[in-house]
Structure 1
Amino acid sequence: MLITCLGPLALTGCTLDEPPSLPPAGVYEHEAAGEDSQAEEAPTDGTAGALTRPLRKAGWFCARVRANADGRAVWCRIARRDEAETVYPQVAQFLLDRDDRLAWAWFPSTEADHENQVAAAAAPALTAIWPDAGDRVRQEIDDFDRDVKTRATRRSDDIPRTGWRDTHADYSYDGHTGLIVTARGASVRRWPFGSEHYATTMSSAVDDLLVGGYDCFYPPQQSCNRPQSNGYFRVALRGDRIVSAQFGIGSLIESGRQRHLLSEEFPHGLTFLTEAVRRPVTERIEQSRRSGTGFAGIVAGTVVIIDARRGAAEGDDLVAYFDIQIGVPLAAT
């Protein structure tokens, strides 16, 4: 029998089950299990290809970001801009088991979700592998959002949530977390966590960040600021190992020459990256900083995302700011 949280339950939290934890308990509490952190383009065949095909067709970038002996993680992203050129990214995460079955998926809520972008992404992706799932996803999310908007009162200490089940999976949705899908009949005991291909450790990188003018107090701080340039540097970690890094940096081109050198903020280069990927990733970043353009792709087996906010430009002159992401956080984090 299909079970759904309806009416008052949907507005005060589903009482049938607790909401799924992020990440699920114990999935990263294991030793390395054949970890592979070299990113590849998302497969175009099999379950991963089916899941990502409608997203890629809509302009998303998708990649298989890591794998191990038990499963593989696929990550997709799209960046939308408002009239002020502010970037609002949206991501989708998929975990497949060793038999190429979807075990888990997450469609996080976006910062600006005016047209229910969670349902717009999840419905076609899930329909591609479970033909009857997409319409149900749209219906449940639309009904829930309409109920939340029209219900005048609810318990202020609860996040409104709904959940439902079908023959394929258990679903949990709220406006803060988004949609979490836990498949039936497929599971991954040890989730992949590798990043050794492209990332070093935070403890080995922090001294170079300090030299570059960042205010860093690690441990425990995982977010550093650079007041001189309104810059930032933040990381996602597993232990001391960097899993993904994000930083902001400007670009000033005058008479065709870069006046704001990368070395001003990273005097010893991007030492949070391994030597195997440091040079090609740096060259890709510098290419965007010269042209004022963004990028989303794989460089030397490493996911690189560059969001560009371009200012005034005249002739060969250019002013721009870049939000850069290297690597992808662990699934469900």
Structure 2
Amino acid sequence: MFVAAAVLATGCTSLSVPTHPFDHELVDESSVAVPVSDRGEVALVVSRLEESGFFCAQVRANSDAAQVWCRASEDPVGNEVDRSATSVNIVTTRDGVIQYADISAKRGGRDGDWDRLREVLDASFLALWHSDAAKVHKVITEVVRGPRFFPDDPHPPVIKEFSTTNASYLVAEGGLVPKFRLVTSAVQDRSWPYAANDYATTMKVAGPELELSGYKCSTHWSSPCRMGGGQSSNQEISFTTPNPNLSLDDPDQILTVDMFNPGTTDDADLESLSSIGFPQELPFLVPAARGPVEAQIVATQRTGEPFIGIVAGTILIVEPPINLPRVRTGPLPVNVRIGVAPISIVE
């Protein structure tokens, strides 16, 4: 079922985002991360993003649609903040036609954030739809010149919506980062993929194993599991799931895992994560992914080289903190992100 559309006075069609994209059964869904298809519009967009320093992958798919995720693995101006803060989310048809996309772009400072958004657009969707470039840049300039919006501002943010023959766009002040999304006439409701069971287990499986490993977990999803349970613990694991009221007895599927391990100053070689407190065999991952993911985390703790890629069908990001001292012995501290959540539509 295609989303209904309304006609603007300009003659272009204004397309709505889907209202219930995940309201369907999990049928023939795969959450095994794979390289992006070389077919259709998405192939050009992804190739241009990769040339600009992004890593991209298809993170889940079903018979109707695929989710593509791209993240900046390096910053063309050398700003390390940008590396972890700029991402592109895309939903396509199985033939590679773009349905929906949004961009989160950050470089630091309001002007830097908007400049980064312009760069990403020029390297991706505006490389595909050249005729939209002038209009998109004009609207971005209008939003930037408008009043700045802060999260606690009583006044509404500046929001601009407009359409071309290729897509309907939204550009807005987002408070922390600029807001940008687009939707095309290919968009289809009740069809977007949302599975995660090919790489992650459930909290019902992972919770008890974490507690056996020495972690203390809150019954609320937004509170991380901490080694020893103390508020001062800097070794923690947090999750996202489809259910915002997650409890350890809840069988909800884990979507993403965020971990921080402080490492040690011991010169001894690191053999496994369990030797420095991480849960043995990473119970929040399916068995086939546990060993390979642990091996890559350990490798980064040894070398300090950031990693972003696909490991055993799983999206894995392992990065030492930005301000890590260059001279350090022993396993290094690392931030770890496993998996990519289903698309959250930018409103």
What TM-score do the two structures reach when normalised by structure 2?
0.79
CA distance in 2, matches of 1:77, 1:303: 11
Correspondent of 1:311 among 320, 325, 330: 325
Q: What whole-Å deviation, never above 9, does each CA across 1:39-74 have from its counterpart, x for those lacking one?
A: 112234432211112210011000011100110010
Q: CA deviation at 1:135?
A: 3.2
Residue 304 of structure 1 contacts residue 327 of structure 1 at CA under 8 Å; is this kept in 2?
yes
Cα distance 1:234–1:293, how it changes in 2: closer, same or farther (>3 A)? Answer: same
Contact 2:225 2:238 survives alignment (8 Å): yes
Alignment partner of 1:74 out of 68, 75, 88: 68
Amino acid corresponding to residue 325 of structure 2 in structure 1: G
How far off its partner does 1:236 sit? 1.8
Alignment of 1:141-160 (within 5 A): 141-148=140-147, 156-160=154-158
Q: Report the AA paired with residue 231 of structure 1.
A: Q
* Pair 1:43 & 2:37 matched: yes
Q: Residue 40 of structure 1 contacts residue 301 of structure 1 at CA under 8 Å; is this kept in 2?
A: yes
Q: Which residue of 2 aligns with 1:131?
A: 130
Give TM-score, length-normalised by structure 1. 0.82
Matched residue, 1:91: 87
Counterpart selection for 1:290 from 302, 315, 325: 302
Number of residue equivalences: 312
8 Å contact from structure 1 (residues 171, 181) kept in 2: yes
Aligned identity (percent) is: 25
Distance (Å, rounded) in 2 between the aligned partners of 1:259 and 1:268: 12
Is this contact kept in 1: 2:40–2:95, CA < 8 A?
no
Over residues 95-141 of structure 1, what are the superposed CA-to-partner deviations in whole Å (9 max), with x where a residue is unaligned?
Answer: 00133211100112437351422222123311233221233222211
Shift of 1:2: 6.5
Aligned to 1:232: 236
> Structure 1: 5+ residue runs without aligned partners?
5-16
Are the structure 2 counterparts of residues 31 and 45 from structure 1 closer, same or farther at C-alpha, using a change threshold of 3 Å?
Answer: closer
How large is the RMSD of aligned CA atoms in angstroms? 3.0
Partner Cα separation in structure 1 for residue 277 and residue 268 of structure 2: 21
- After alignment, is 204-213 or 93-102 more displaced? 204-213
The alignment status of 1:25 with 2:19, answered yes or no, reads yes
Unaligned segments of structure 2, at least 5 residues: 1-6, 244-251
In structure 2, the CA distance between the partners of 1:175 and 1:265, relative to structure 1 (3 Å rule), is farther
Mean CA deviation greater in 226-235 or 239-248: 226-235
> How far is the alpha carbon of 1:3 from its aligned partner?
6.2
Change (3 A) 1:260 1:182: same
